């Protein structure tokens, strides 16, 4: 499917796209609110740390359960579906803020906002298609994808200082106010800005997207990409500690995420302009496999130093894979089925984020086995990327 020429993106549409990106980031901040302040949250709510971990686990669980249905609704009725997602996100944040001393109330709020996330994230490509000019769609998809990583970074960096300053109650109330404003702006703009007409579906895409060979390959790429990123974030601290660099995991993960945001902002547009999407995905897999394999075979001192270079480089190419895949999938299936394809692909990424973290657990945080396993886990993504067509326009 090729993009058709059309009028430029209007000012109202630009405002809507910006609000949507902020809303996407907000979903990630709300998801990970408690992870950086587990001990403080456990004390404030009178529960154990395991119960606090369950607050974050609610989000991927509901995404798995609701992603497919959310994608279908977004395709049939984008504005009501996305407005509902925004409203649920804000409502969940408000519920949490009203029950800052009660774990059941906070859990209920987490369930409500988690129910809204599939409707927000699943709209990533279809919002770009319906509101951005054809020439700007790749950039819009990249911006919304990068917003996920921005939200993760904000949650990791901001939660602890805010809790130290104003407590958990202050953090939850500040989040509720901010998210309510963002959601309200998004809903108002959705009602006021008319969407563009939707092109017909690509003839090459099967009616059942789950049987589409190209989407299956995309799913493998995201399963591995998101999974490797989550596994690194989970197991990097013990690995670096054993390599003689304790206390450096947090800043290095932040650096990896910042590099990923930069990659997501730059590489998708470059790949789309030159029709080199496959090359970017191959490079991401190759850097992941090669970088971790190199660090695994080095002695402890050089291995720790190598990771200081490898991880930002891996982040730069690995996280850029998400917008590249989502944009290519929309090109393949057509705009009228983009939401369902996006939801299925994000579902694969969420599954990888859980499965690969558990898979790496068998290495016990020991440097060489962990790094070798991370390299090996990148091989399926390399194989899937290799099997993709050389040119996106021919898919």
CB atoms within 10 A of CB 46: 10
Q: Please provide the average confidence, as pLDDT, over all residues in the chain.
A: 90
Separation CA 306–CA 186 (nearest Å): 43
pLDDT at site 199 = 58
Separation CA 110–CA 60 (nearest Å): 11
Separation in Å, CA 367 to CA 47, 257, 374: 33, 21, 11
- Between CA 70 and CA 326, with CA 148 as vertex, the angle to 5 degrees is 60
pLDDT tens for 6-33 read: 578 889 999 999 999 999 999 999 998 9
Flag whether pLDDT at 211 surpasses 80. Answer: no
pLDDT tens for 126-150 read: 999 999 988 888 999 999 999 999 9
Supply the DSSP symbol for 244. Answer: T
pLDDT tens for 61-77 read: 899 899 999 999 998 99
Flag whether pLDDT at 198 surpasses 70. Answer: no
Q: pLDDT-derived band of residue 203, with 50, 70 and 90 as boundaries?
A: very low
pLDDT at site 6 = 59
The closest of 151, 140, 156, 159 to 182, measured between CA atoms, is: 151
The closest of 131, 158, 166 to 25, measured between CA atoms, is: 158
pLDDT at site 26 = 97
- Tokens 């298609």 belong to 129
- Tokens 């609701």 belong to 66
pLDDT at site 111 = 97
pLDDT at site 208 = 64
pLDDT at site 209 = 64
Separation CA 341–CA 204 (nearest Å): 14
pLDDT at site 114 = 96
Q: Which CATH class is domain 209-394?
A: mainly alpha
Q: How is residue 171 written in tokens?
A: 């953090």
Flag whether pLDDT at 1 surpasses 80. Answer: no
CATH 1.20.1250.20 residue ranges of the chain are 11-192, 209-394
How many Cα atoms sit within 13 Å of 226 on the Cβ side? 24
Burial class (CB in 10 A: 0-12, 13-18, 19+), 125: buried
Cα-only R_g, the chain: 20
Mean pLDDT of 69-98: 96
Please tell me whether the overall predicted TM-score, pTM, comes out greater than 0.75 for this model: yes
pLDDT tens for 327-379 read: 999 888 887 788 889 999 999 998 998 889 888 888 888 999 999 999 999 99
Which own/partner contact pairs does 239-247 have at CB distance under 8 Å and 24+ positions apart? 239/307, 239/365, 239/366, 239/367, 239/370, 239/371, 240/304, 240/307, 242/300, 242/365, 242/366, 242/367, 243/300, 243/301, 243/303, 243/304, 243/307, 243/367, 244/300, 244/301, 244/304, 245/304
Q: Are 122 and 343 in contact (CB under 8 A)?
A: yes
Q: 380 in helix, strand or coil? A: helix
pLDDT tens for 165-189 read: 999 999 999 999 999 999 999 999 9
Q: Report the percentage of the chain scoring pLDDT > 70.
A: 94
Separation CA 130–CA 126 (nearest Å): 6
The contacts of residue 345 (CB under 8 Å, 6+ apart) are 215, 218, 219, 222, 325, 326, 329
pLDDT at site 371 = 95
Separation CA 122–CA 222 (nearest Å): 15
Q: Report the percentage of the chain scoring pLDDT > 90.
A: 65
pLDDT at site 221 = 97
For 275: left if phi > 0, alpha if psi spans -120 to 50, otherwise beta; the answer is left
pLDDT at site 202 = 47
Mean pLDDT of 240-259: 88
Q: What kind of fold does domain 11-192 have according to CATH?
A: Growth Hormone; Chain: A; (1.20.1250)
User: Which of 177-191, 199-213, 285-299, 330-344 has the least mean pLDDT?
Assistant: 199-213
Helix (H), strand (E) at residue 17: helix 11-31
The contacts of residue 135 (CB under 8 Å, 6+ apart) are 3
pLDDT at site 39 = 86
The closest of 381, 394, 54 to 227, measured between CA atoms, is: 381
pLDDT at site 233 = 85
The contacts of residue 164 (CB under 8 Å, 6+ apart) are none
Q: How is residue 86 written in tokens?
A: 């925004």
């Amino acid at each position: 499917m090729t993009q058709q020429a059309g009028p430029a993106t209007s000012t109202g549409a630009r405002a809507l796209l910006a609000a949507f990106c902020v809303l996407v980031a907000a979903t990630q901040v709300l998801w990970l609110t408690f992870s950086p302040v587990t001990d403080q949250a456990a004390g404030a709510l009178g529960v154990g740390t395991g119960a606090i971990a369950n607050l974050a686990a609610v989000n991927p669980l509901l995404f798995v359960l609701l992603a497919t249905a959310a994608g279908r609704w977004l395709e049939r009725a984008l504005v009501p579906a996305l407005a509902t997602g925004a409203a649920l996100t804000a409502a969940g944040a408000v519920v949490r803020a009203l029950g800052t001393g009660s774990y059941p109330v906070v859990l209920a709020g987490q369930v409500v906002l988690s129910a809204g996330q599939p409707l927000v994230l699943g709209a990533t490509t279809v919002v770009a298609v319906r509101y951005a000019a054809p020439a700007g769609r790749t950039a819009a998809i990249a911006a919304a994808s990068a917003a996920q990583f921005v939200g993760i970074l904000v949650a990791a960096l901001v939660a602890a200082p805010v809790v130290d300053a104003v407590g958990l109650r202050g953090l939850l109330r500040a989040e509720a106010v901010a998210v309510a404003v963002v959601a309200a702006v998004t809903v108002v703009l959705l009602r006021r800005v008319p969407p563009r007409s939707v092109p017909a579906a690509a003839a090459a895409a099967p009616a059942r997207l789950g049987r589409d060979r190209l989407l299956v390959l995309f799913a493998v790429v995201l399963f591995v990409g998101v999974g490797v990123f989550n596994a690194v974030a989970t197991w990097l601290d013990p690995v670096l500690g054993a390599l003689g660099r304790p206390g450096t995991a947090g800043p290095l993960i932040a650096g990896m995420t910042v590099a990923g945001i930069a990659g997501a902002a730059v590489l998708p547009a470059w790949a789309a302009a030159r029709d080199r999407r496959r090359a970017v995905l191959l490079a991401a897999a190759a850097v992941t496999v090669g970088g971790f394999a190199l660090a695994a075979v080095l002695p402890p001192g050089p291995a720790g130093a190598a990771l200081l270079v490898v991880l930002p480089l891996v982040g730069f190419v690995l996280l850029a894979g998400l917008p590249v895949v989502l944009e290519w999938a929309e090109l393949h299936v057509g705009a009228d089925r983009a939401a369902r394809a996006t939801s299925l692909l994000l579902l694969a990424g969420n599954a990888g984020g859980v499965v690969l973290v558990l898979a790496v657990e068998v290495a016990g945080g020991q440097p060489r086995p962990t790094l070798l396993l991370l390299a090996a886990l990148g091989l399926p993504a390399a194989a899937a990327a290799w099997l993709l067509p050389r040119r996106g326009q021919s898919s």
